[in-house]
Structure 1
Amino acid sequence: MRTDHTFAICAYKESEYLEECIKSIKKQSLKSNIIMVTSTPNDFIKNMAKKNDIVLYINEGEGGITQDWNFAYRKANTRYITIAHQDDLYLTNYAKRAIEVLDKAWHPLIYFTNYTEIREGKFVSSNKLLRIKRLMLFPLKFAQFRKSQFVRRRILSLGSPICCPSVTFVKDNLPRCIFSKGFQSDEDWEAWEKISKLDGEFIYNPQILMGHRIHRESETSSVLKEGIRTKEDYVMFKKFWPSCIAKILTRLYAKSEKSNELSE
């Protein structure tokens, strides 16, 4: 049992995948603390927490995806924090590998892993989008680039290849508030951009250690259909590029995002 690492599960409404997420965390080869947070309390979530002996914290303040993630971040009173999304899964050695690497690191900011997609119950470990993201992250496979602000900002200037639920935060080396209010799609990309300016390490593990679920009810699928992501992508690209280049990159990025949609 590692008392310096917490999985903070963000639960929303009544997800059919929540229990599967909980089981994957409880099956970790190295046990960690587990908490659950929600801004939509209901009997389903309360019973799921009680059934699995997990402390449930209710966000009675302003709701929303970034508010819930920040609330989870604050409630996890440990050095290392993984904000788990209710639809996703963690492979058995996720926590073990994260802690092994972080304990040896110089000044880690975030640790994150490669991942597989879960589409209609099947694991998809390779497709065009995943290959592009892995290519973007290739420089971070080398330890000498972990500390380089230049390298990680060049990576982020072309998009966000970091899978948010694969990230473990090192709370002692980061600000109290990670995610900015107002973003519905690129809240994670915006967070990485801010953190990329800090002195410290971005630690990437190219091993696949978690599964990210793609389905029609997911937040990602919803914001794609509403066109929110395209607007936020442009805001993010402008942090790195002049407006004319940001517009071009936004159009190119929109094409790649279609892989997050399931065919009807």
Structure 2
Amino acid sequence: MFTCNDHTFVVCAYGESPYLSDCISSLMNQKQASRILISTSTPNKYIEQIASSYNLPVFINNGMPGIGHDWNCAISHAQSPLVTIAHQDDLYSPNYSIEMLRSVNASKHPLIFFSNYGEIRNGEYADDISILKVKRTILRKFARVGYSSSIKDKRHALRFGSAICCPSVTYVMPNLETPLFSSEMKCDLDWDAWERFSRLEGSFVYSPEILMHHRIHEESETTSLIQDNTRSSEDLAMLEKFWPKKVAKVIHRLYSVSMNSNTL
């Protein structure tokens, strides 16, 4: 049985995000407190000052910066069985930790927990836009039952794209193989991780409650990767893990339209 003492929020801080303090505040306001720390490959006074204001430790990553490397470092800094990588621009519901622990403890062999989510666009909350409705439709079986250990079900949630929102995920480290993330991918490293996890024995655990909000803005890493077409090539490579190449190319042409949902 996991408790709040087994869980760590690791905030991945980069540069000088104006949203960092709001993210941390949402984690500090959890109804059931978890440990919080900051992980960064870009140490600076701005991050240090915010960390100091919340009395949080800052861990500096060694090695060449990169999303996969940074996320793997974040996991290693946590040193706890349950880890949530909190993206510095996002906000978490006060119920996140409570619902995560309840859901994980209800599963016999959980691999990851993830939740329904909304978005923040131009400072406005957007919970019912088309792309989110599509993802919820894909996850409707998970929503009914709360989890699935079926390889077929887990892969079904991934075969048209990643219906799993990365910052909503908590990793159950004793049941996963490390490193979690590939350093070769720049954008789809989360989808790639879910694909590998889907082959493992164990459950993907899901809460249909909106437990966090993902911020979409022009300076975000995802937006910049879409603009230089990095994501397009990685999307095709991922689709080919689920479909024959000819079918994957057709789906990719349709899927590429949805990338506009990550731009303003």
**TM bucket, shorter chain:** over 0.9
Aligned to 2:6: 4
For 1:222 and 1:211, locate their aligned partners in 2 and report how far apart those are by CA, in whole Å: 20
How far off its partner does 1:144 sit?
8.0
For 1:94 and 1:144, locate their aligned partners in 2 and report how far apart those are by CA, in whole Å: 15
For 2:53 and 2:62, locate their aligned partners in 1 and report how far apart those are by CA, in whole Å: 23
For 2:103 and 2:141, locate their aligned partners in 1 and report how far apart those are by CA, in whole Å: 17
How far off its partner does 1:8 sit?
0.4
Maintained 8 Å contact 1:74/1:176: no
TM-superposition CA deviations, 1:20-57 (whole Å, max 9, x none): 00000000000000011000111111111111111110
Counterpart residue type for residue 222 of structure 2: T
Written as runs of structure 1 = structure 2, the 5 A alignment for 1:165-204 is 165-204=167-206
For 1:208 and 1:2, locate their aligned partners in 2 and report how far apart those are by CA, in whole Å: 20
Maintained 8 Å contact 1:234/1:247: yes
- State percent identity of aligned pairs: 45
Aligned to 2:219: 217
How far off its partner does 1:176 sit?
2.1
Q: Which runs of 5+ in 2 are unaligned?
A: none
Partner SS, residue 163 of structure 2: coil
TM-superposition CA deviations, 1:128-166 (whole Å, max 9, x none): 101111111111123386111111112211110100000
How far off its partner does 1:113 sit?
0.3
**Structure 1 ranges of 4+ moved more than 6 A:** none
Aligned to 1:66: 68
Partner SS, residue 42 of structure 2: coil
Aligned to 1:104: 106
Counterpart residue type for residue 180 of structure 2: I
Aligned to 1:115: 117
The answer to whether 1:80 aligns with 2:105 is no
Maintained 8 Å contact 1:145/1:151: no
For 2:261 and 2:160, locate their aligned partners in 1 and report how far apart those are by CA, in whole Å: 17
- For residue 41 of structure 1, the aligned residue among 35, 40, 43 is 43
TM-superposition CA deviations, 1:219-250 (whole Å, max 9, x none): 11101111111100010011111111111111
For 2:183 and 2:146, locate their aligned partners in 1 and report how far apart those are by CA, in whole Å: 33
Written as runs of structure 1 = structure 2, the 5 A alignment for 1:110-189 is 110-143=112-145, 146-189=148-191
How far off its partner does 1:194 sit?
0.3
- For residue 89 of structure 1, the aligned residue among 84, 88, 91 is 91
Maintained 8 Å contact 1:120/1:215: yes
Q: Which runs of 5+ in 1 are unaligned?
A: none
Partner SS, residue 157 of structure 2: helix
For 1:113 and 1:178, locate their aligned partners in 2 and report how far apart those are by CA, in whole Å: 19
For 2:16 and 2:86, locate their aligned partners in 1 and report how far apart those are by CA, in whole Å: 16
Counterpart residue type for residue 114 of structure 1: N
For 2:72 and 2:146, locate their aligned partners in 1 and report how far apart those are by CA, in whole Å: 31
Which has the higher mean CA deviation after the structures are superposed, 133-142 or 230-239? 133-142
For 1:197 and 1:53, locate their aligned partners in 2 and report how far apart those are by CA, in whole Å: 40
How far off its partner does 1:104 sit?
2.4
How many residues matched? 262
> How does the TM-score come out when normalised to structure 2?
0.97
Alpha carbons of 1:252 and 1:54: their partners in 2 closer, same or farther (altered >3 Å)? same
